[in-house]
Amino acid sequence: MIRLFLFLIIAVGIPAISLIAFADHDTRTANVNLICGLMIGLISIGALSFGKGTCWGWDFGVFALRFGVDGCTRIFGILFGCIFLLAGVFSLEYMDHDHAPHLYNMFFLLTFWAMLGLSLSQNLFTYYMCYELMTVLSLPLVIHERTDGAMKAGMKYLGYSLFGASLALFGFFCLSRFCNSTDFVVGGSLKAAASTEPGVFLFAVFCLLIGFGCKAGIMPLHFWLPTAHPVAPAPASAVLSATITKAGVLGIIRVIYYIVGADAIRGTWVQYTMLTLALITVFSGSMLAFKEKLMKRRFAWSTVSQVSYVLFGVFLLTGSGLQAALLQVIFHAVCKTALFLTAGAIIHHTGCTYVSELKGVGREMPLLMACYTLASLSLIGIPPFAGFVSKWQLVTSGMEVFGGFGIAGGVVLLTSAILTAGYLLPISIDGFMKDGTIKAHRKPTWRMNLPMMVLSGALLLLGLFPHGLLAVMTFIGELL
């Protein structure tokens, strides 16, 4: 009973609060509403995550909406909640001189709502619904600035997302011939028919994977990321980069492990193609980030690369690979939020957007840049920070399964790590060591510093003691 109540709070309460936040033109109360909504969402999803999952469903003839809690919900739901809350706290200061904070607050909360729904979805139809909802509701965040560039970027974001989603939908239609149901069942619910028509079956799976991969920024469908991220307000970019890309990852995990089963595509061309694409993306993303001059676009390219680390782990189709991928999901989300929030603080307080303008920024905002440095060390994979743990596990689990592919994976991941150092560390070094003309109008207050400190502290702690996270991931054992 109490669980249903919690679920209803998420389902109905958050949109209600978002409407109140929208109606309130007084910034102060609107902000209070925003934080309340985020807190309520986080607490509800946290409370729901304890205990075994109950399923709530409504059938509408052919289709059925199903929500429930399982292992993936715990990880993704709580991750989404934490990231949104921290980015929300940050946006209190970031949006204080904005032209329409109430609009921003509303869509920020609604996107959060769609993403919680996404993590709670228990069949492919529900997932698809929430997925499209998330795309549409996050679009106003991308075009929030109302500039020409922002509008264009928003259209590109929409175009790519819809293309990806319709590809996934196409795959979904083809696949329904081969599945008993589209509910998320551990190990999948494949009919025997799949083995008689492997060509169509694999093609359908491929469409689904590429379609969801579009949100995760896998090449060749990655181009919306470097276009959409730089134009959105920084906390929104953080959320886009840290969580919305992960919605694609969650979709892929659901398809592979809960619809078709890992065994059905192990050793097929689908697996090898996806692994190759993931590795190409890892390298290209880092390479282009290394060449990029605009700070936020650099971080967006970095997301392209880092999320494909996750996909590499997922497509290994082993328990250790999936575990490494989920670790990377969490660590990348935390790191990338920290990076985008730093970018936001710099833009908000100094107005600088290009990497070359950042000389001396460390003297203006020492605490923030120190946190940035910790986050970038983690993203590179320097021990003892969190990124190191996930990268170690990714490569070793790759090598366990595939000799050649594993070694190629190791080489690509480490090359990318070197490039990551090449595009992140110069910002710190220039910021702390060089003299520049950069000047902050005001010092960042606790509303910017606190999320950064929490994020970088979490990276150190999670890197030193990943046991707790691994305990949450024991459900992986059942999937294979």
Partner 1 sequence: MELKILSAVLILLPMASAVFIYHTRKLAHLLTSCVLAVELAAAVMLTGFVGEAFELPGVCGLGLNFSDTGLQSWLCILAGFLWLVSGLFSGKYLKQDSKNNRYYLFLLLTEGAIMGVFLSADLFTTLVFFETMSFASYPLVIHHGTQSAIRAGASYLSYAVIGGMVSLMGLFLLWTLLGTLRYTELAEAVSSYNGDSKGIFLAGCLALVTFAAKVCMFPLHTWLPGSYGEAPSPATALLSGIITKAGVFGIFGLTAKLFEGSHQWGNLILICGIITALVGGTLALFNTNLKQTIAYSSMSQIGFILVGTGMTALLGEENGLAVWGSILHLTNHSFIKLVLLLVGGVIVYNVGQLDYDVVRGFGRGKPALAFAFLMPALGVMGVPGWNGYISKTMIHEAIVEYIEELEHLGEAADLYHVIEWLFLIAGGMTVGYMTKLFVCIFLEKNTNPTVQAKYDTQNKGYASKLWLFLLDGCALMFPVLGFGAHATQDKIAAFAQDFFGSGVEEHIDYFSVGNLKGAGISLAIGVVLYVGFVRTLIRTKDGYRNRWPKMLDLENRLYVPLLFTVLPFVGAFCARFVGSLFEWASKLVNKVLFFRYNKYVTPGEDHYFARYKAEDPGVRGYRGQLAYGLALFGTGFVVVIAFLLISNGFLF
Q: Which residues bind partner 1 (CB under 8 A)?
A: 148, 151-152, 154-155, 197, 199-200, 203, 219-223, 280, 283-285, 287-288, 290-291, 377, 380, 382-384, 388-389, 392-393, 395-396, 399-400, 406-407, 410-411, 414-415, 417-418, 421, 425, 429, 433-434, 463-467, 470
Nearer to partner 1, 49 or 393 (CB): 393
**Sequence-distant (≥ 6) Cβ neighbours of residue 451 within 8 angstroms:** 86, 87, 89, 90, 337, 341
User: Nearest 5°: CA angle at 209, between 207 and 215?
Assistant: 110
Q: How far is the CB of 380 from partner 1 (least distance, A)?
A: 7
Q: How far is the CB of 302 from partner 1 (least distance, A)?
A: 13
User: Nearest 5°: CA angle at 258, between 253 and 260?
Assistant: 100
Nearer to partner 1, 189 or 415 (CB): 415
Which token pair is 12? 């109905």
CA dist., res. 140 & res. 91, Å (int): 16
CA dist., res. 63 & res. 66, Å (int): 10
Nearer to partner 1, 282 or 352 (CB): 282
Half-sphere exposure of 364 (CA within 13 A, CB side): 27
Q: How far is the CB of 56 from partner 1 (least distance, A)?
A: 37
Q: Which of 263, 254, 250 is nearest to 317 (CA)?
A: 263
Q: How far is the CB of 130 from partner 1 (least distance, A)?
A: 26
Q: How far is the CB of 414 from partner 1 (least distance, A)?
A: 4
Q: Which of 234, 258, 194 is nearest to 53 (CA)?
A: 258
């003309």: which residue's tokens?
A: 437
Nearer to partner 1, 45 or 382 (CB): 382
Q: What share of the chain is helix, strand, coil (3-state, %, to 5)?
A: 80, 5, 20
**Sequence-distant (≥ 6) Cβ neighbours of residue 15 within 8 angstroms:** 109, 110, 113
3-state secondary structure 298-317: HHHHHHHHHHHHHHHHHHCC
The conformation of residue 441, written as its DSSP 8-state character, comes to S
Nearer to partner 1, 97 or 437 (CB): 437
